[in-house]
Every structure is written in C-alpha cells, then in structure tokens.
Structure 1
Amino acid sequence: MVSSNGNHAEPTFLVFGKSGWIGGLVGDLLKQQGAKFEFATARLEDRAGVLADVERVKPTHVLNAAGLTGRPNVDWCEDHKIETIRVNVLGMLNLADICFSKGIHLTTYATGCIFHYDKDFPENSGKGFKEEDKPNFTGSYYSYTKAMVESLLSEYPNILVLRVRMPIVGDLLYPRNFITKIIKYDKIVNIPNSMTVLPELLPYSIEMARRGLTGIMNYTNPGAISHNEIMELYKQYIDPEFKWSNFTIEEQAKVIKAPRSNNLLDTKRIEGEFPQILGIRESLIKHVFEPNATHADKVRAEVRQMRGR
C-alpha cells in the first residue's frame, strides 16, 4: 500500500481468531514487532459483522486464524456437519469475498491435512505433494470442507493460503501441541509426516503477508518425521525412561471416528522465500527439545502425571 505522498504506508493488520491458539500467537508476534494491528470481534459466519470489523479497522492486511477444528479433535466435526460448513466454508468465503471487494490482502492459516500417501505418493519415497496438486484425502469431514474451500479460495487473486500440518509449539505441556497429544498415549501409529514448527514459521507468515504473496503455500518445515522419531527425541532430551508402543492404522481406526491424514508436502516454495528454514528434525531440536531440556524435571513430572504413571 502506498500513501498519497508516495511513501509506503505502515501496514495495518486485522487478525481473526483472537480466542484461538494460532490467532493468539499471531497477535503476540505482531505486538512484539510493534506492528499496528487489531483483533476482529466478529465470527466468520457473520458477514455483516466481518464487514463492520473491516470498515472499522481499515486494514491493509487480514490474517485469519479462525476456523472450526472441533474439540477435543476433528472427530467432533463428524457429528456437527452444519456448524462445520457455516464456519469453514461459508465463513471463510465471507471473509475472502469482503477482502477481495475492499482490495485487502488476506492470509489464511489453512491445513495440509487434505492429502494422504497413495501409489503415486508412496510413504518414505521423498516425493511430496506440491501446491498445485489436488487434494486426495476426504476421510474426515473437517478435511473435506477444508479441501473444498481451498479450491474456491484459489480463484481469488488477493489470498495466501497456508497449509499448516500437525502444528507444534515449544510448550510440551500445551494440550493442542501435536507432541503433547502423542506423548500422552501409550500406543501411537508410526508414520512420517510433514509438520509445522510454529515458533519458526509464524514470523515467516507475517513477512509473507508484508511481501504480498498469494496463492497456496505448503507451510511446513522441509522433510518428514515419524511419530517414533519424535518420541525418541523426547526420550533423549526429557525422559530417558519414557516408553511407548505402536499400533497399526487399522487398530487406530477402532478408537477414532474419522481417518487421519498422513503425508509429505513439498516445500520448495517456502524454501525459496526463506532459504534459512530448518528441516523438521533440526527445527524441533532448536525450538522445542533443547529449550525444554533446561527444565526437563518439571516437564517429565507433569507428563508422567498426565499418563497416570
């Protein structure tokens, strides 16, 4: 955005998702950067409210971290399909259309859980799904709606869609952290996946918005890491006596309502924008396990309590 005197105007950010996990982290980052921003007050499905927020704040950039994933997990969406449509489809399109009509750049934190390994993209082959590949996973209703809306959003020239996967933060006791989820279980599946280390990648998303990037971005660290490899890192840095076992996808299916996505995403685009990005293992060590090792006793004690040990 350029002001009338020819100078670049200071970006103004409007953030949707104040009460959510990623939205709160985005707000914290903008505050740390001294950026001009406000949180939205409207829910995405309230088009009049969204428009009022946009007209009130007059943003140059909108960052959307609002959406419906379900609690405690995406299985919730299987029994609440109308609510899921209202937010993830109608609500997202409300925001996209308003931003387009107002000439505002929109970045939305979406999902990469719309793909799964198959004969063309075999597990452990190193072949990742690219931004232009069509989603091939609709096993959960959550993923079904997200794949549908991604296709629609791709028609808008002002939108950057970030495919987040299995998001991870440094706090190993935070319940929505992917690592926190799996270390609570005695049994886990063991499949390599692309993942998003938020302490490293969230600042990149704000910079992407400033750069005006659009289209789809696979928003994960390069490479894949398996559940067992993460458990081994936890054992190495936090708890040498940590134990777990594996079960198959078929066995997992008996305890969940909807299948889960497992995939590797190609990261050439994000690596082109940020050559310094760390591979997933290196990023986990730097941003998660090394910091937690400084207070391993506390983490170990609380995790053991969560596991009833």
Structure 2
Amino acid sequence: MKNLFITGGSGLLGSKFEYLAGDRYDITVTHHKNPVPNSISFNITDEKDVLEKISALNPDLVVHSAAMTNVDYCEDHPDEAWKLNVTGTENIARACEKTGSKLIYVSTDFVFDGERGMYREEDETSPLGHYALTKLKGEEVIQKYDVNYAVARVSVLYGWHHRMNFVTWVIDELKNGRNINIVTDQYNSPTLADNAAEAILKLFELDKTGIYHTAGGERVNRFDFAVNIADVFELDPNLINSIESTNFVQKAKRPKDSSLDINKIERDTGMKMMGTVEGLEYMKKIME
C-alpha cells in the first residue's frame, strides 16, 4: 500500500484525504497547533523536523496543504507569512528531493490580479497582496529542486469541517435568522474540498506534473453563491443583502475576478469538477 503524507491535516482540504482514500493508501496527516485524531505534530518551518519526519516515513506522495491562508493577517504579519508559506514550502521540497517523493503543492487563485477571470494555467500571474505573493513564491521555490511536482491551484475551498468556511458560515447565519451582507462584484471558482482532494489523488495516480487549476467548475460571484447555499439548504435567501466590495472594508486587496479555467484538470484526469449547486448538494447528502 502506498504511503501518503499530508501537511495541514487539521485544515479543510487536508482533512479530506483519510476520509476519501484511507482504504486505498497508508495516510499520515500532520498538525502544528490544532491536533486531530491520529495526526502527528509537524512544524514546516523547522527544517530538521521536516527532513527527519519525511525521511522516516519515505512517502510516495507529499500533499503540502499547510499554509497561512488568512489574507488580512498575512498583510499585517508579512515575515510570519513568508516563513510559513515560502520557507516552509522550501523545507518540504528539499525533503522530497531527498526521499524521491512526489510533491503536490496546494496554491491559490489569488496568484492572479483578477482583471479578467477564467485564468488558464499558462496565464501571467500578478498577485495583489502579500498572501498571494507568498503562495506564488511557494510555487516557484519547489521548481528549484529535483522533485516530481504538481501545483494544484484551488479557489474558495468549502465543505464540512470543524472550522468555519464561507458555506458553513452562511448556513449558520441564515439558520439563526441573521441578515448577512455579501458582495456582488467578486468572482471566484468555489471549490468543494472533497472534490479537490479527489482531483489531487488523480494527479498522483496518473503521475501528472506541472500546474493544474484544481477548482470548482463554475465562475460565480459571492452573492449568487450565497443564494445557492440558501436554496440548497432550504434557508431564507431574503436574509442575504447584496453590496459592492467598495462598501466592505478589508485590509488586503482581493482580485475582482480570479475564476479559473479547469479544462486541463478535467481533460488530463477525467475528473468532473463540481459547480456550486452540485457541490452543495453533495454536502447536503453526506450530512443526512
């Protein structure tokens, strides 16, 4: 049985691999500050810790999903974000080079400036904020090493998890009868974490390399996404107020349209990347 090593195992995406493929692979998940059942402590910024633990397990695949993802926090704490997202990623790549492990690095749609949307893998990157810059530098740093790698860019990950994401937050707010303000002028490709994890496993199984937009199969703005959530979970859409992003104060700049073209991942793996209604219906089904 092949051995998978998942960084960020307590996060939304990292938590899906054991659930989806624990019967097919020997999976080791890691945590740093938030332990989960059967996870091991792992500090990606500690080069010695990274090398020792990856070398000891000698995994066939390392999925590097651990990252500092709070966009505004990264803007306020640039050195901390760089240490985790860039230096930490380099430590992982260096260890994978030593063990010969395949590396799949989880990146983001925010590497683009959002001026036009539906970006393809070969399009020019232009990060607007520090979080996006560190994730792009992470993509670049793994290419310095002699490692079999793929980059999986995701967008607005959602799904069931013990920590809130956009979908679970909207569900909670609407269930409690609270009004919410959602922007109409920010477009993404919302990605069901379970679907992204399956696509990442396919990239490994088919030994694909290079950059893949491993995102949802629909370009949608945040407001329409929220309305879809209300519809699927039979909640009141009248509680959702539409606003423009100029009325919503955020520390870091966000791309207006960072939607991703997913033709390559679907073509090369045979995967179906779900649109929002399909993804939300999957969430509802596994909840029941």
Deviation (angstroms), 1:27: 3.0
Change in CA separation of 1:78 and 1:34 when aligned onto 2, cut-off 3 Å? same
Residue 224 (structure 1) aligns with: 219
Residue 59 (structure 2) aligns with: 59
Post-superposition Cα deviations, 1:173-228, rounded to whole Å, max 9, x if no partner, equal x5432223456462111133112112223122122212222211101122212222
Q: Secondary structure at the match of 2:27?
A: strand
Q: Secondary structure at the match of 1:23?
A: coil
Q: Secondary structure at the match of 1:39?
A: strand
In 1, Cα distance between equivalents of 2:242 and 2:73? 25
Q: Which runs of 5+ in 1 are unaligned?
A: 1-9, 295-309
- 1:108 counterpart = 2:105: yes
How many correspondences in the alignment? 268
Change in CA separation of 1:64 and 1:117 when aligned onto 2, cut-off 3 Å? closer
- 1:132 counterpart = 2:122: yes
Residue 168 (structure 2) aligns with: 180
| Contact map agreement 2:167 2:229 (CA 8 A) in 1 | no
Deviation (angstroms), 1:45: 0.9
Residue 27 (structure 2) aligns with: 37
**TM-score scaled by length of structure 1:** 0.78
Residue 196 (structure 2) aligns with: 201
Post-superposition Cα deviations, 1:122-176, rounded to whole Å, max 9, x if no partner, equal x6xxxx21112222222x21112112222333454511111111001146xx543
Counterpart residue type for residue 48 of structure 2: A
Match of 1:142 among 105, 118, 131: 131
In 2, Cα distance between equivalents of 1:204 and 1:186? 32
Counterpart residue type for residue 235 of structure 1: A
Report % sequence identity: 23
In 2, Cα distance between equivalents of 1:51 and 1:175? 29
Match of 1:17 among 1, 4, 8: 8
In 1, Cα distance between equivalents of 2:11 and 2:280? 26
Post-superposition Cα deviations, 1:241-272, rounded to whole Å, max 9, x if no partner, equal 642212222212xx221122331211111111
In 2, Cα distance between equivalents of 1:133 and 1:276? 22
Deviation (angstroms), 1:282: 4.3
Residue 34 (structure 2) aligns with: none
In 1, Cα distance between equivalents of 2:76 and 2:213? 29
**TM-score scaled by length of structure 2:** 0.83
In 1, Cα distance between equivalents of 2:99 and 2:163? 37
Deviation (angstroms), 1:90: 0.5
Q: Secondary structure at the match of 1:129?
A: coil
In 2, Cα distance between equivalents of 1:214 and 1:221? 20
Change in CA separation of 1:62 and 1:224 when aligned onto 2, cut-off 3 Å? same
Q: Secondary structure at the match of 1:15?
A: strand
In 2, Cα distance between equivalents of 1:225 and 1:290? 22
Change in CA separation of 1:279 and 1:251 when aligned onto 2, cut-off 3 Å? same
Structure 2 counterparts to residues 92-107 of structure 1, below 5 A = 92-107=89-104
Change in CA separation of 1:170 and 1:131 when aligned onto 2, cut-off 3 Å? same
Deviation (angstroms), 1:236: 2.4
Residue 153 (structure 1) aligns with: 142
Structure (1 or 2) with the larger CA radius of gyration: 1
Counterpart residue type for residue 57 of structure 2: V
Counterpart residue type for residue 164 of structure 2: R
Residue 264 (structure 1) aligns with: 259
In 2, Cα distance between equivalents of 1:59 and 1:38? 9
Change in CA separation of 1:112 and 1:54 when aligned onto 2, cut-off 3 Å? same
In 2, Cα distance between equivalents of 1:114 and 1:181? 25
